[in-house]
Structures are given as C-alpha cells and as structure tokens.
Amino acid sequence: MPLTRPRWAGPRLLNVYRLLAAGALAGILLAGMAMPALGMLGLTAKSATDDFNGLPDALTSSPLTQSSRIYDAKGGLIATVYDRNRTVVPGDRIAPVMRKALVDIEDNRFYRHGAVDLKSVLRALDRNTANGSVVQGASTLTQQYVKNVFVEEAGDDPKAVQQAQRQTLDRKIRELRYAIELEKTLTKDEILTDYLNITYFGEQAYGVEAAAERYFGVHAADLSLPQAALLAGLVRSPSSYDPVANPKLARQRRDTVLRKMAQYGAITTAQARQAAAEPVKLDLNPPRQGCITAEQGAGFFCDYIRRTVLGDPAFGRTAAARKALWHRGGLQIRTTLDPRAQQAVEQSVTSHVYTTDQAAAATTLVQPGTGRILAMAQSRDYGTGAHETGLNLNVGTAMGGGLGFPTGSTFKPVVAAAALEDGIRPDRKYPSPYSMPWPAMSDCEGHGYTDGGQQVHNDSPSLVGPFTMPEAMAKSVNTYFAQLEADTGLCKVAAMAGRLGIARQADGNPLRIVPSLTLGTNDLTPLDMANAYAAFAAQGTYCTPVAVTSVTGPDGKEIAVPRTDCRQAMSQGTADAVSSMLKGVVEDGTGKPAGLSGRDSAGKTGTTDAGKQVWFVGYTSGLSGATVVSDPASPQDLDGQSIGGAVIGQAFGGTLAGPIWRDAMEGAAP
C-alpha cells in the first residue's frame, strides 16, 4: 500500500519513513519492536499492522522441487531427471564449515537474535539514509529463507518470481509474520539447514548438495574451507560471483567470506590467510539430466517411465496431480529394465542398422508371465541432434511413439490361436493355391465382406497346397490363413487379439476388423507384439506390460504404482499348440536365420507388401521379443537400401529382422 509523508515529520522520522518505504524496516516497525513514533504514522501503519495480524500463522509450502532418479532392476542409475537440480540433505550431511561460512557472511548474529535483528536494522538505517538510498539490507537468514520459499512457490514463471521478490510493504509484512512463526517452531539449526537446501547457488544448482557436486564434484558433507567460502559467497548474487563466468570476482568474494569467518571467530586469521592463498580450484560437473543422458540407449525406456508417471492414474487422480508429482521430484523410481538385456538389445540394433541409415530398427523384450519390460532400444539414439529422435518406435503415440507398423505375417499366430480355441484342429487342411479370391466373412457387427474382385496370394507361385496349419505357419502361407480366418470368424480373431492386449492400433484407433486382418495390415508396435507372444510362452497367460516396480517419495514413503494384470487369454493346450508350430518356423521355416544356438525358441517372420516393413517376433521360456525394421519417416521399399553397411537385395523378416532378434535374445539370456 502507498505511504504518504505526514506534514509534521521531522528529520529523524523522515529517515525512518524512507527506510520503511524501501521495505527494509517494515517488518520491525509493524511488529512494534522499533520506535514509539510508529503511532505517529497514523492510519497507514495501523492498516499495515492489521494486515500483519490477519495473516495465517504457519508458512505453508509444497515440498522442495528436487531431482528424481530412475534405476534399473539391478539398482543401477539409468538417469536423473528434474525441473530443478536439487537434492535435499539433512543437517548432518552438510559440512560444519559450510554452515559457519554462510552464517558469517549473511547473518553473523543469526544465533543471537530472533526473526529480526534490531541492531542490524538500525545499522542499515544509518547507512542507507546517509546514502539517500537503500544500499544495505537488514533481513535475517530466517527472513531470507521465507523469501526463498515465496520464490520456490512461484516456480519457473518469471512474472510470479518477480512478484515474489518485489520490494513492497505487503511482502515484507508476510515475510516477517512467517519468520516470527518459524522461529517459534523450528530451531536455528533447522532453519539454517532448510535455507541451505532451498537457496540458489547458480549454474542450475539449487541447494548446497547440488552446488557442491556442480562446482567441486563432492558432497556437501565433504566441502573444504575454501570451497565452503566460495559457495557461501554466491548466495548474495549467483550470477555476479559465478566462478565459471567471473573467476576474479568469485575469488574476491570468497576471500571476503574468509575474512568475515576469521573476524567472527569461526576460523583463525592464519587459516583464513592460508585458504585465501589457494587459487579457486573447480571440478566442474555440468548438469546431466533427463532421458537424453540415459546410459546403454535406455533413453526411450526412460521416456516411457516419464510418460507412465504423467499418464497413469496410479500416480494421481488428475493430470495436474501427476504433473505436480513429477515436477516436485525427489522420487526414487525402480524399474523392470534388465541391464544385461538392455545392453544386448542396444548392441544388436545399432550393429545391424546404423544410425545414419534411412531405415531404423526397434526391439522390445518382455518377460513372459509377468509383463515386465526388460529392454527397449532402437538404432537411432534418443535426442534432438542429427540422426537422433525423440520418437519411441517401440510404443504407440500415447506413450511417445509413432503410428506403429503393419505387422505382416507375425499376426498369423493370433489367427491360429483363435481357430484352435474355436475347436479347429491343427491338422485342418486347405487347398491353399498360390492365388484365390478372398473368402466371404463378416465382422462383429455382421457387416459382410466378399472378395470384391480382390485376390489373396502367397509370396511365391511355387507355394501351393494343400497344407495343414503347422505347415502353413512354417511357410507363411497367406491363402491358408485367409481360409482359416473365414472359418474361425473375424470377430473371434479380433476377440483373441484383444485378449492378447491388441485391441487398438498404435495411434489409439480400434483395430480394423477386415479380411486382411490375418495378413497383419493393422499398425502395431514391438511392445504390442512382444507382449502378445509372451502369452504363448506363458502357457496362455497374458500380462499387461509394466515398467515400474516401486516409487519412493522424498519423504521415504512408498507411492502406489501400477501393477500388471495377468489373465488366461487361451487354454494351455492352445498356447502349447501354437508354440509347437512356431518352433517349426525357426527350425525349418521362414525364421530359420533367427534360430538360437543351443536353446529352444519359437517365432514368426513378417514381411509387408513391397518390403516396407520386416518383422521377427519370437520367444524362449523366459524371454519374448519383437523386432521391426522400417523407415519411420516415410516408409520406403527396403529392397536396395544400404542397411548396416550392406545393400539389401530383397528384404525379408527372417533375414533382416531375424538376426537382430537373435543377437538380442542370445545376449539377453541369463
């Protein structure tokens, strides 16, 4: 509120008035601690006092924004993510010399006064009035801490931050009110610890722990005297005394802190001189944060974790609540990522398909019977630079992925499972010519489909029947599976796909339930396919994918996390029958190049029209994985492209995607 100078104000009262207008004495005067002359300020001061008394006693604030850490299944750090680089530490993990340095440079009487320091205020009054402006402040550490809380609550909004720091009477009133209450409820040591955890030290370092690591590569508990003095000096103006940008000024400020520490008895004069004689020695550790810094190509998995927290109601009932949880940070997130599997997948996709290739490869591994995502990688690095991408080809758009890819013949086992569940036996034979009209069939709404002049044909004119189901699976006979789909019914095939977690395409739209369903014309993802095939490996049990095993908040308490939902998608007999057929694919069929050495495996190849996408999806008893190779920008025929240093004559799922899957699985196997 504006202050007006009374006509009767004398020189001494005018000095008080000037400092009050600048905000430096507002708290003291309003608390009734300074001068009886306060009453002469009339209604203006009375109104301010009423404002003071009307404020809530307690300072309410959200937990400090901290960095969160994402760990793999073995406890290894995947990445540190944060909106503000801060790690809150208790007082016993801050070097005593750091605590002394801050007190001596900012508020040497901190342990001898209350929320305000009248002696400092009067000293500031004399100096400021002599200069005709505010050149010295009188805020205590407690008041500074309260102001930092206001700034922290403002977040990253520049206008809100400016508002929180404004030099106005009403802000000083609030600052003082809460400072007084803090002194009643917290000890001096607790206030100092909170101050050291909240204050900004420059270079994106919030709090003393982050600052110690940023400038010196040590923990706050291990700071030396010269290091502590330099950090304490930064608090006044982190940009002016930045030792990176302004090393000379930073050293001068450090030495000022050392002299103050000697003056107030925290150290001896000899210790101050010895420390001042040392050059400023920095061991800079630039902030490394976000999924872009993740090791072993786990950036895409890291991003999947971020989107899980932001999107799953388990982490908050509303999007705003989940965003607030992520923003506050301080989370310890433990995940399902297996470091051995991740390393194997990353090495496989990047060795078979180069980052500079027009095509890209993506592979996901999951654990049958649990839904745990064990690995997720692609040939292009996570990032925004050349030959990098933020698009996760392993997942759909809702989780940061693209539009998915047609799966080709890797969808045929789903049709086989639906047929077996419907009572059709594996020895069912169909003529299976090279080419034939599409059989008549209907979708779930009864909409009928006839051939419409369209033909379904096999990959080779020499591929003709009759075939049984296992033979047709091994040779990937399209005309066989068109007839099998018709006899089973489109709706039953779609229902089986839904029970295997494939109810929607990668873009979120429902599956297109049309005759070409059996040929894999819907756009799906490696995660979709790996997890669907995991049900065959788990004797018919399908489990929804899961990536987070536990989350601990900054208070050390566990936060509920989403759990996998396991259900019987088909009978064990059906799952075993499909597995038997898929073993034939890798033993003596189109998937032979993907066969594992000395280990039973099962899988299926997939090659779409014009060779724009190639797939291999398969499993062992303990691992299920899916690999796709395609040009994600604008799908082009892979034939004739240079991929992994070799020109591809004709792209097939077995020969291009199969070896990537094989090497990933062999490296990931325990």
Same domain, 113 and 20: no
Please, are residues 529 and 407 in contact by the beta-carbon 8 Å criterion?
Answer: yes
pLDDT-derived band of residue 481, with 50, 70 and 90 as boundaries? very high
Does the pLDDT of residue 34 top 60, yes or no?
Answer: no
pLDDT (average), residues 577-586: 96
| Type of residue found at 382 | Y
* Maximum pairwise Cα distance, the chain: 113
Which of 277, 300, 316 marks a domain boundary? Answer: 277
pLDDT-derived band of residue 609, with 50, 70 and 90 as boundaries? confident
Cα distances (angstroms) measured from residue 632 to each of 208, 359, 404, 629, 638: 45, 7, 9, 9, 12
Length of the chain: 670
Same domain, 182 and 256: yes
Same domain, 38 and 166: no
Let me know if residue 38 belongs to a domain: yes
Q: Spell out where 553-623 has E strands.
A: 558-559, 566-568, 602-607, 613-619
Let me know if residue 634 belongs to a domain: no
| pLDDT reported for residue 175 | 81
| Residue 568 β-bridge partners | 541
What's the CATH number where 197 sits? 1.10.3810.10
Same domain, 136 and 246: yes
User: What pLDDT digit, counting tens, does each position of 544-571 carry?
Assistant: 999 999 999 988 899 999 999 999 999 9
| pLDDT reported for residue 165 | 67
| pLDDT reported for residue 162 | 72
| pLDDT reported for residue 397 | 94
Does the pLDDT of residue 119 top 90, yes or no?
Answer: no
Does the pLDDT of residue 18 top 80, yes or no?
Answer: no
**Highest mean pLDDT: which of 36-50, 169-183, 616-630?**
616-630
Which residues contact residue 60 at a Cβ distance below 8 angstroms, ignoring those fewer than 6 apart? none
Same domain, 92 and 220: yes
Q: What percent of the chain has pLDDT over 70?
A: 86
Same domain, 20 and 160: no
Same domain, 159 and 31: no
pLDDT (average), residues 432-439: 95
Q: Is the peptide bond before 466 cis (omega within 30 degrees of 0)?
A: yes
Does the pLDDT of residue 51 top 50, yes or no?
Answer: no
Tally of helices (H runs) and strands (E runs) in the chain: 23, 24
Same domain, 238 and 143: yes
Same domain, 136 and 200: yes
- In terms of Cα–Cα distance, which of 336, 341, 375, 330 is closest to 550? 336
Which residues contact residue 581 at a Cβ distance below 8 angstroms, ignoring those fewer than 6 apart? 413, 416, 426, 469, 470, 473, 474
| Residue 625 β-bridge partners | 365, 618
Same domain, 137 and 20: no
Let me know if residue 374 belongs to a domain: no
- Average pLDDT value over all residues in the chain: 87
H helices within 504-561, ranges in order? Answer: 526-537
Tokens of 661: 């899957």
Which three-class secondary structure state does DSSP give residue 153?
A: helix
Does the pLDDT of residue 191 top 70, yes or no?
Answer: yes
How do 381-382 and 388-389 pair as beta strands? parallel
Tokens of 560: 């509920």
Question: Phi/psi zone of residue 539: left (φ > 0), alpha (ψ -120 to 50 degrees), beta?
Answer: left
Does the pLDDT of residue 538 top 60, yes or no?
Answer: yes
| Residue 455 β-bridge partners | 437
Does the pLDDT of residue 520 top 60, yes or no?
Answer: yes
Please, are residues 214 and 244 in contact by the beta-carbon 8 Å criterion?
Answer: no
Which three-class secondary structure state does DSSP give residue 469?
A: helix
Query: Which has the minimum average pLDDT: 4-13, 81-90, 618-627, 642-651?
Result: 4-13
Does the pLDDT of residue 502 top 50, yes or no?
Answer: yes
| Residue 614 β-bridge partners | 607, 629
Q: What's the structural domain count of the chain? A: 2
Query: How many C-beta neighbours within 10 Å does residue 610 have?
Result: 12
- In terms of Cα–Cα distance, which of 177, 175, 132 is closest to 151? 175
CA dihedral angle for residue 586, residue 589, residue 591, residue 592, rounded to 10 degrees: 70
Let me know if residue 450 belongs to a domain: no
Same domain, 44 and 93: no
Let me know if residue 101 belongs to a domain: yes
Same domain, 137 and 204: yes
Let me know if residue 107 belongs to a domain: yes
CA distance 413 to 536: 9
| pLDDT reported for residue 169 | 66
Query: Helix, strand, coil proportions of the chain in percent (round to 5)?
Result: 45, 15, 40
Let me know if residue 106 belongs to a domain: yes
Please, are residues 223 and 212 in contact by the beta-carbon 8 Å criterion?
Answer: yes
pLDDT (average), residues 75-83: 91
Let me know if residue 35 belongs to a domain: yes
Please, are residues 412 and 604 in contact by the beta-carbon 8 Å criterion?
Answer: yes
Query: Which has the minimum average pLDDT: 22-31, 146-155, 449-458?
Result: 22-31
H helices within 132-243, ranges in order? Answer: 141-154, 158-165, 169-185, 188-198, 208-216, 225-234
Contacts of the segment 442-447: beta carbons below 8 A, 24+ positions apart: 442/489, 442/490, 442/491, 443/490, 443/491, 443/494, 443/513, 443/514, 444/490, 444/491, 444/494, 444/513
pLDDT (average), residues 186-204: 94
Which residues contact residue 11 at a Cβ distance below 8 angstroms, ignoring those fewer than 6 apart? none
pLDDT-derived band of residue 464, with 50, 70 and 90 as boundaries? very high
CA distance 484 to 52: 81
| Residue 588 β-bridge partners | none
Phi/psi of residue 145, each to 5°?
-60, -45
| pLDDT reported for residue 155 | 67
| pLDDT reported for residue 451 | 75
| pLDDT reported for residue 670 | 82
Does the pLDDT of residue 356 top 70, yes or no?
Answer: yes
Please, are residues 215 and 282 in contact by the beta-carbon 8 Å criterion?
Answer: yes
Which of 246, 277, 308 marks a domain boundary? Answer: 277
Does the pLDDT of residue 308 top 70, yes or no?
Answer: yes
Which of 241, 257, 277 marks a domain boundary? Answer: 277
Cα distances (angstroms) measured from residue 427 to each of 419, 421, 467, 488, 514: 12, 14, 9, 15, 25
Which residues contact residue 553 at a Cβ distance below 8 angstroms, ignoring those fewer than 6 apart? 330, 331, 559
CA 94 to chain centre: 28
Please, are residues 410 and 403 in contact by the beta-carbon 8 Å criterion?
Answer: no
- Rg value, the chain, Cα: 34
Query: How many C-beta neighbours within 10 Å does residue 635 have?
Result: 16
Tokens of 655: 């020969």
CA distance 644 to 359: 9
- In terms of Cα–Cα distance, which of 142, 138, 148 is closest to 184? 142
Query: Which has the minimum average pLDDT: 76-90, 281-295, 546-560, 600-614?
Result: 281-295
Range of the domain at 41: 11-54
pLDDT (average), residues 377-394: 89
CA distance 4 to 139: 24
